[in-house]
Amino acid sequence: MLGECGMLERDRRGLRKYAVTLCKEMVVDELFIQSLQTDDILTDSMAESILAEPTSHKRIWRLLSLLPKRGPRAFSSFCSALRDTEQQHLCALLSEYVDSPLPLPTQEGIVPTKRARTQESMEMCLDADSPITSSVLPCTPDFYLEHCQQSYSMVSSPRGLALVISNVSFDPCAAPDLDSRKGGEVDEEVLRKVFTELDYIVTVRRDLTAQGMRECIEQFGRQQQHQTVSSCVVCLLSHGVEGAIYGTDGQLLELDWVFEAFDNAHCPLLQNKPKMFFIQACRGEEMDCGVEQPDGPERTQSPGCEQRDAGREGEGDGDTRQMEERGRLRVKLPQRSDMICGFASLKGTAAMRNTKRGSWFIQEVNSALRFRARDTHLSDILVQVNTNTHHISQS
């Protein structure tokens, strides 16, 4: 499939995916530009405008902004220019896109005509509230150049490792009061897709006991690849109470232990790197709005699809945390520096989940990341997610 200006869409994605790496490592000199001129990819005026840029970063970004408009041969000629100028390591990064007959399966800008029925029905359920098929919007060159010195370095590819733990089904004997979290499987797929598009390696684990979650998190934190990537993401989806989430066996895993597992003392591989946490679970029993169906031991008889991710009443209330909160945003300093956490609910309240479309919080996080990650700080994104979720609850 051709892009709007003639370049194959998969090739355009290749340039977007590795744009930051190319900006950091590529050398665009006269020899490189001449190679593209020889292939009739760049005109003389284009070549002059690129070489006239005052810095290497600006030369690279101008070139990358022009290439998608130069036809279906531009990408292969660009790779040839990399080889001709002894930049084979960058060509290797892009090689997976060269002569590929189909779009890469992890990219969502082009949706294959054939797909598993379960995936198709899942996306149709989400269409009303979540732009699941919309690709993540890329950062513009000008914005990157303006803010790169004040932001975390996010130049690795992959950007980082992401762990999604989702408890959907609970042991009816060990946890009789914890109902199945219908819609939780939708959240898994939404998170897997959006973080894959953001260039993370995503691991999804389903239905773990409290001890199983602990072991999974410990193993994830020890992965040596953390040393070479720029960031880390952890998503926990389950029933919960203030300060803890439930395993499938009805036992609680303390969130404070989770944060501790990734602090500077316990996870040195991630020191000075952003660590992002997203918690879809209740933090109490209070409802901050009218809802149709509570997901706890005492259920109202209602035909709606909305549920909450609360657990047994009263458990965990005595486990207080002296941490500053603003909406769903939590930042811990200094021992737990470079951490940010988005919660699905305020302290003491329930988190809402649609049994067909997934949780309100994850829907809003997905939408916000796709459209605003390109130019908005994550803390501001979470504030907007908080506002949007509140509006949903009032509708």
Q: Using CA atoms, how far apart are residues 44 and 33, in angstroms rounded to an integer?
A: 10
Indicate which residue of 282, 305, 377, 390 is catalytic: 282
Residue 121, class by beta-carbon neighbours within 10 Å (0-12 exposed, 13-18 middle, 19+ buried)?
A: exposed
Tokens of 30: 């006269």
Buried b (16+ CB within 10 A) or exposed e, 80-103: bbbebbebeebbebbeebeeeeeb
173 is catalytic: no
Q: Using CA atoms, how far apart are residues 82 and 90, in angstroms rounded to an integer?
A: 7
User: Which 3 state secondary structure label does DSSP give 254?
Assistant: strand
Indicate which residue of 23, 79, 232, 239 is catalytic: 239
Q: Which of 94, 79, 78, 76 is nearest to 17 (CA)?
A: 94
Instruction: Quickly tell me which residue has 């292939």 as its tokens.
Output: 39
Query: N- to C-terminal Cα distance for the chain?
Result: 40
226 is catalytic: no
Active site residues: 239, 282
